[in-house]
Structure 1
Amino acid sequence: MKSEFDICIIGAGMAGATIAAYLAPKGIKIALIDQCFKEKMRIVGELLQPGAVQSFEQMGLGSLLDDFDAQPVEGYSLLQGEEKITIPYPENFKGMGLHNGRFLQRIRASALQNESVTQIHGKALQLLENEQDEIIGVSYRESLSSEIKAIYAPLTITSDGFFSNFREHLSNNEKTVTSYFIGLILKNCEMPFPKHGHVFLSGPTPFICYPISSFEVRLLIDFPGGQLPRKVALQAHLDANVTPYIPECMRSSYEQALREDGFKVMPNHYMAAKPIIRKGAVMLGDALNMRHPLTGGGLTAVFSDIQILSTHLLAMPNFNNADLIHEKIEAYYRDRQYANANLNILANALYGVMSNDLLKTAVFKYLKCGGANAQESIAILAGLNKNHYSLIKQFFSVALFGAYDTVRESIMNIPKAIKILSDAFTIIKPLAKNELW
């Protein structure tokens, strides 16, 4: 069939809308399909680490971060008991806290203002194939008429999020639920350290917060386990594991949010990227790869993927050569694995560490020492240091530091020191295997 478009993008979420906004001004004809283009409220994807901000600006989209009350984030603070430490991002870099839905609407508007983008309201149903099993487009049910129609394009990008309908055709990966996040918005909240992300380590379960507007703070509370918690269990969890550890300056805003019963719950997924490379299609964003949102690395990975894929696609003279498109897809999958491995490993490794009392204490004491080790660690978290050796070195430096510190307190702590090293290895081994080999 004759193609009207160069690219069909399934899903106008953060990944799909951003790559459309980036490629459309370059004259590439794009069909952007989604069931709903209205603003949605999400409780994650609201913190852009400096690596995400850098990628977004490099794509020429930085102005979309202006004029909707997004807040600069200058670093991280860790709080354990009465002790507090702050670690600034590397000099001249900053993150941004924002409302995900508002940000996405700005990106969508930027994409749709281009004549080369056709907005299609509908539910994507099935990838279309030719006799050579090459993907040549997608069928969809039009929202207004309920008619079944088809879009044909040399390249179909599936970016329909963590509940992707097309993953089974383009991926071998297995999705697991590592825990759940309870999300609250604290209004007129005074944080211990303004313009910082906060990680609270005092309680038995980690929780984090960061500003998303000039008068709102997002609080994300971990609920361990793979089962969706019932409301009674949620309240009991908050009462026992969170409320006693909320800083005094945040308490009134926190209690008001609880009274308003405004919390939302979402699953935290882990899914390594294991693509099935097929002619005519490529996966992007959460449809391909997910990590625990504890580190706020999701949008860093998404924008990095978009940059890598777009660089390869823009190197082509046109979209008429299916073999060349296939080569570029293979190159994208290869390059993105290196670029995003640190983000994926760190997110889930750090979640494992924060759920382990011995390792959690070791991390706090290690970072409290400051200096080059703290700066190297924050650069990895920020998505600015993609060197795999740096990540593995820092991870085991923390474990060795914790083991040594434990033995130094008492020679009787040797079993604890061995457990620290063993637990660290148990956490990092499967993640490194998934992401690096």
Structure 2
Amino acid sequence: MAGAADSEAARNTERREKHHEADVVVVGAGVFGCAAAYALANQGRSVILLERWMHEPDRIVGELLQPGGVAALRKLGLEHCLEGIDAIPCYGYHILYRGDEVSFSYPQVRPDGEVVVSAGRKKGQEANGSANGHAKEPTRPEGRSFHHGRFIMQLRRACMGHPNISVFETEVTATIKGEHTDAVLGVRTRTKDPATGKKEPDCFFGQLTIIADGYASTFRKELLGTTPVVRSKFYALELIDCPFPPANTGHVVIGDQTLALLYQIGTHETRALIDIPNEHPAAAPSAGGARGYIQNIVLPALPPHVQPSVRAALADGRIPRSMPNSWLPSTKQTRHDGVVVLGDAHNMRHPLTGGGMTVALNDAVLLSSLLSPQEMPSLSDHAAVRGAMATFHWRRKHLTSIINVLAQALYSLFAADDWQLRALQRGCFAYFQRGWTDEPVAMLGGILRRPATLAYHFFSVAFLGIWLNIVDLCGGSVLGVLRLPLALVQAVLILWKACVVFLPVLGTEFL
């Protein structure tokens, strides 16, 4: 039996290396592409993994992996990819809101995955590191933050070391369809000839082609017909030896026109991501552009002990690197036989909450279970693949709907640009101050999968914001009761704004 298995493996390797044929062709060796290739290869599938450029990528997002992503990485057998890259543990969040602050940690989780919800946490409680494997059950989960490129290279090394995967550096240019069918049979590429240095035409064939070519996908429009919505950009700074207690947390800074996310990505490096809305007047060229916005608007809102590191990062005089903050609702993957589009090419959300990699890794876990040889002996059975992908579309929403809606809703609140949103923003911060954080941060971390719970907490925040607004208008004097009619009108407007922010995004997720 062992000899037969070895012979089969050798034949599959020859098919991949010599004839460029496999069970699965994966386009894109990013987070999802590597994870999906590795998961399918672990099931005995023969996999070809294609990547345009195998050098270490240098990106400014994809640097914070939530606990739910760490758990998915563990299920995939890839948890070792977090080691040896100077990854920093992350145990929760710290929010600075107009000079006030609150910290909260991920809630404890029982061995069966149930989240332990406390009666309430005291204001200012800091995240702790009880998720080190030595604490008593239940344990507190741990996220990790790191340099994106180092993590990607670990994933790629894992794939290159797998006996069922062959990795090629080549530029994918088009899909290949049969003469008598519209089913995709593989992809056309251009591969550099080592002898001449010129790119020559090439082809790779598989029973199933998985397109995972990232946020700037060249195949999305053709295969899905969708376009991302971009409302802002993240501009990135790398701060060196920047003090920002409490340690091992993600820091969110909210000011009048300021929304910034800071988290440590190495022993000495801290990433600062500054959100700048499209066409914001304070970021116009006449106002100094992105650098002017950071210096004039963001810098004064940061804590004094952080400001010197930001000034040092700006000292080179260059425009900070940027990435578009995209929202792309998911699409059913049943339109084209022989090919699916997944990862960021398929579904994106605002990176404020750091949920992208958690979604990608959990998608890889779900996809591999639905396409396993036990469930689907042949991936050339297009009807069976369509059925599996229809199941995939709905089953993934237990997690992704929460992460996607949270990302878009929190961005709308934290980047508030009208008085109703600012009332909701204040309600959100007051909600956290009161210690009602366990379930919200568990959903943020990808460890609680109950969409109804998200709706409950969002509208609880809305009603708290309404109450605080009523107290402001009607409190403080005997005559305050005369403002009650105005307060009630404003209450309706705030609730309407909450519905406008939350319900359309939630509805889109469940289409």
- Compared with structure 1, are the counterparts of its residues 42 and 293 closer, same or farther at alpha carbon in structure 2 (3 Å cutoff)? same
SS at match of 1:256: helix
Distance 2:27 2:427 in 1: 44
C-alpha displacement at 1:3, in angstroms? Answer: 7.5
Q: Which residue in the other structure is 1:359 paired with? A: 424
C-alpha displacement at 1:261, in angstroms? Answer: 4.2
The answer to whether 1:192 aligns with 2:245 is yes
Q: Which residue in the other structure is 1:41 paired with? A: 58
Q: Which residue in the other structure is 1:274 paired with? A: 331
**TM-score scaled by length of structure 2:** 0.81
- Compared with structure 1, are the counterparts of its residues 284 and 31 closer, same or farther at alpha carbon in structure 2 (3 Å cutoff)? same
CA contact (8 A) 1:203 1:242 kept: no
CA contact (8 A) 2:87 2:265 kept: yes
C-alpha displacement at 1:149, in angstroms? Answer: 1.8
Which of 441, 463, 473 matches 1:410? 473
Distance 1:3 1:107 in 2: 22
Distance 2:214 2:415 in 1: 27
Distance 2:397 2:279 in 1: 27
Which of 406, 410, 420 matches 2:494? 420
Distance 2:243 2:489 in 1: 42
Distance 1:402 1:286 in 2: 34
Q: Which residue in the other structure is 2:366 paired with? A: 308
CA contact (8 A) 2:332 2:389 kept: no
Which of 65, 69, 72 matches 2:86? 69
Which of 297, 305, 314 matches 1:241? 297
CA contact (8 A) 1:46 1:98 kept: yes
Report the number of matched residues: 435
Which of 7, 22, 32 matches 1:5? 22
Q: Which residue in the other structure is 1:59 paired with? A: 76
Distance 1:333 1:245 in 2: 41
Identity in percent: 31
Distance 1:189 1:203 in 2: 23
Larger Rg: 2
C-alpha displacement at 1:226, in angstroms? Answer: 6.3
C-alpha displacement at 1:320, in angstroms? Answer: 4.9
C-alpha displacement at 1:66, in angstroms? Answer: 1.2
SS at match of 1:223: strand
Which of 174, 181, 205 matches 1:132? 181
Q: Which residue in the other structure is 1:286 paired with? A: 344
C-alpha displacement at 1:68, in angstroms? Answer: 1.5
Q: Which residue in the other structure is 1:250 paired with? A: 306
Instruction: List gaps (5 residues or longer) in structure 2.
Output: 1-14, 109-139, 417-421, 475-482
SS at match of 1:248: coil
Cα RMSD between the aligned structures?
2.0
Q: What pairs up with 1:92-131 in 2 under 5 angstroms?
A: 92-130=140-178, 131=180
One-letter code aligned to 2:227: E
Q: What pairs up with 1:143-292 in 2 under 5 angstroms?
A: 143-144=192-193, 145-225=198-278, 232-261=288-317, 263-277=320-334, 278-292=336-350
The answer to whether 1:348 aligns with 2:397 is no
SS at match of 1:151: strand
- Compared with structure 1, are the counterparts of its residues 237 and 414 closer, same or farther at alpha carbon in structure 2 (3 Å cutoff)? farther
CA contact (8 A) 1:170 1:275 kept: no
CA contact (8 A) 1:44 1:100 kept: yes
One-letter code aligned to 1:236: G
- How far does the alpha carbon of each residue in 1:96-133 deviate from its partner, in whole angstroms, 9 at most, with x for none? 11000000000000001123212222111111112221
**TM-score scaled by length of structure 1:** 0.95
Distance 1:361 1:199 in 2: 14
CA contact (8 A) 2:35 2:76 kept: no
One-letter code aligned to 1:344: N
CA contact (8 A) 1:172 1:274 kept: no
